Homo-oligomer: A and B are copies of this chain.
């Protein structure tokens, strides 16, 4: 079994969830993709997984931390979380709407952790979106 699918199986198992055909299909639709809207995911699974089941599986994925919900511009989008992708943040262009990844930045990550600590807060994750004008649009 391909590596990431195996990781999905283990993660589901650990949380007492079933490793089903439908969930594998939905997972595949998210792999190596930029964040997608629910609508896009449903389309990607068209004919293979029912709409209602996509919603239900996405909810499970979210609860056990397999995916993350992001606010990108105006709509929310979903992508695999850091344990499946590399950790990263997004740049969203206010003009053309495209999103690109921001390379990982150690110094930023440390700063965030320090800030959380200073509030007696244990950081488990975070998300950052920078909005503005991309190179092409400025």
Contact for A120 among B69, B76, B122, B135, CB less than 8 A:
B135
User: For A111, what are the chain B residues with a Cβ–Cβ distance below 8 Å?
Assistant: 105, 107-108, 111
Which residue in chain B gives the minimum CB-CB distance to A91?
B121
Given contacts A71-B76, A105-B111, A111-B107, contact A100 B128 (CB under 8 A): no
Q: In angstroms, how far is the closest chain B Cβ from the Cβ of A5?
A: 26
Of the A-B pairs whose beta carbons lie under 8 Å apart in the complex, a sample of 15, sorted by A's number, is A69-B74, A71-B76, A91-B119, A102-B116, A108-B111, A120-B135, A121-B132, A121-B133, A123-B130, A123-B132, A124-B133, A125-B130, A126-B129, A126-B130, A127-B128
Chain A contact residues, CB within 8 Å of chain B: 62, 69-71, 74, 76, 91, 93-94, 100, 102, 105, 107-108, 111-112, 115-116, 119-135, 138
